[in-house]
Amino acid sequence: MKDRLYDDNLYQFHKPQASYWEATADDIKVSAPALSGDETCDVAVIGGGYTGLSAAYHLARNHKVDVRVLEAGHFGWGASGRNGGFCCIGGVGVHRRDLIRMVGVDRARQYYQSQIDAVELVCRIGEEESLDFRAQGSAELEVAHTKKAFERLREDFDVSSRHLNLPVELLSAEQFRERHFDSDEQFGALVSRPAFGLHPLRYCRGFANAALRHGAVLHERSEVLDWSKGDDGWHRINTAGGSLRARKVIFSTNGFMPERLKPEFYARTMPIISAIIVTSPLTEQQKAAYNWVTGETAANSRRVLNYFRLLPDNRFLFGGRGHSSGHPDGEQETYARLESMLKSIWPKWADLAVDYNWHGLICMTGSMCPSIGQLDGDKSVSFAYGYHGNGVNTATWAGKKLADWIGSGQVPDMPDIVQGMAKKFPLASLRLKYFRLAIGLASWMDRRG
């Protein structure tokens, strides 16, 4: 039986993605030898992305806990080393107005306050640890791709400012063109703060080094193949090269979760492929063709959205939905689709070459909210996952919450909508099938405006 949902192509832990980020972070090395022999620690962390690293960093720094992180690839192999670098408010799988409908105004407000805290936490860690993650901009732009979409953004603006206390601005198409950029489908935008762009892999590697400095032990090339708990209360975790005994375990593998490693985690997630292309640098003339004067992170208002940003070296990053099987043929189709989409939105950039392309897994849950907690039947196992494509801030924040929980023994202050294990997806083996149906429907609605 397969341990994970997609084609094996998605889980080549020995192989880094050929991303722009990998090509521009080589100066930051992480010393993390593979696990070997028999070792013991208080807390073992499985998965070395932002969630696992933040948990290890805060456990070691704030609570002086003896913690080790086991990462199957290198640090930053997963989504934390290959995302768009948007550090912004999000983390749920629904619009702000729909979250209010689902959980009520007070709980939604509490959730969005935690999202602001999470963006601020990334800034604070960056400053305190002198991380060179190339922060850029101070807002996130959601650009209406049709007139009808602008009306929906107006609703989001009302909800965000009146009910959620979020600092938002609504810009007309003219105001937006003047302050940010233009395109063939620009009908005004919603501007949200706090937000900024960063280099995700530089953040991840810098974070790993900060965790090391505070005493955490890191192991790369250490895929956990087997995990059990003995009657003596010790967890036993095996990799190909060694074994680790631990009193407590943090499971932080998010979209790459080996969901049969522990039965409690089976069918709790819906991983989805997101893909990115990065172009050759834009010339000043190409930028001027659309009055591109912004360094902010941006997305369009499609239901199956695209996210994009002009990088500090003038290359253009453009991302969106990936393929639905993860097979290498589908991967190439995805990159071609993204390129043609980019060039249909900005046709004057038809000559731009695509220099990098890659993909990875984001993670959704049935509740459309992140899932953070400890197993009901075994409080020595903690977990956090399901950030709905918005984990730069959310995973960092969730990792800290787990560390505080373990370090203090007290449940930390968290919005109730993120607490506990996400419910199981029904008909779990058909997850990819119903996801395809949902995407088909959303794309059809996008075509209608």
The minimum distance between CB 413 and ligand FAD, in angstroms, equals 21
Q: In this complex, which beta carbon is closest to ligand FAD, that of residue 140 or of residue 156?
A: 140
Q: In this complex, which beta carbon is closest to ligand FAD, that of residue 186 or of residue 396?
A: 396
Q: 10, 55, 70, 250: which one contacts ligand FAD (CB under 6 A)?
A: 70
368 lies in the site for ligand FAD, by CB under 6 A: no
Query: How far apart are the C-alpha atoms of 229 and 217, rounded to whole Å?
Result: 22
47 lies in the site for ligand FAD, by CB under 6 A: yes
Residue 434 makes CB contacts below 8 A (sequence gap 6+) with 427
Q: 30, 41, 46, 212: which one contacts ligand FAD (CB under 6 A)?
A: 46
Residue at token pair 């959205």: 305
Output the CA–CA distances (angstroms, integers) from residue 356 to 21, 82, 197, 275, 333, in the order listed: 9, 12, 19, 11, 14
The minimum distance between CB 162 and ligand FAD, in angstroms, equals 26
Q: Which of 144, 108, 39 is nearest to 449 (CA)?
A: 144
156 lies in the site for ligand FAD, by CB under 6 A: no
Q: In this complex, which beta carbon is closest to ligand FAD, that of residue 72 or of residue 246?
A: 72
> Footprint of ligand FAD on residues 239-258 (CB under 6 A)?
252-256, 258
Q: Are 374 and 67 in contact (CB under 8 A)?
A: no
188 lies in the site for ligand FAD, by CB under 6 A: no
122 lies in the site for ligand FAD, by CB under 6 A: no
Q: Are 5 and 432 in contact (CB under 8 A)?
A: yes
Q: In this complex, which beta carbon is closest to ligand FAD, that of residue 168 or of residue 395?
A: 395
Q: 361, 364, 369, 381: which one contacts ligand FAD (CB under 6 A)?
A: 361
> By CB neighbour count within 10 A (0-12 exposed, 13-18 middle, 19+ buried), where does 125 fall?
buried
Task: Please give the structure tokens belonging to residue 175.
Answer: 């105001």
425 lies in the site for ligand FAD, by CB under 6 A: no
Q: State whether residue 173 is helix, strand or coil.
A: helix
Q: 360, 370, 407, 415: which one contacts ligand FAD (CB under 6 A)?
A: 360
> Footprint of ligand FAD on residues 317-346 (CB under 6 A)?
319
382 lies in the site for ligand FAD, by CB under 6 A: no
Q: Which of 4, 3, 17 is nearest to 357 (CA)?
A: 17
Query: How far apart are the C-alpha atoms of 242 and 333, rounded to whole Å?
Result: 40
Q: State whether residue 112 is helix, strand or coil.
A: helix
80 lies in the site for ligand FAD, by CB under 6 A: yes
The minimum distance between CB 106 and ligand FAD, in angstroms, equals 25
The DSSP H or E segment spanning 341 is helix 328-345
Q: In this complex, which beta carbon is closest to ligand FAD, that of residue 150 or of residue 273?
A: 273
> Footprint of ligand FAD on residues 221-240 (CB under 6 A)?
223-224
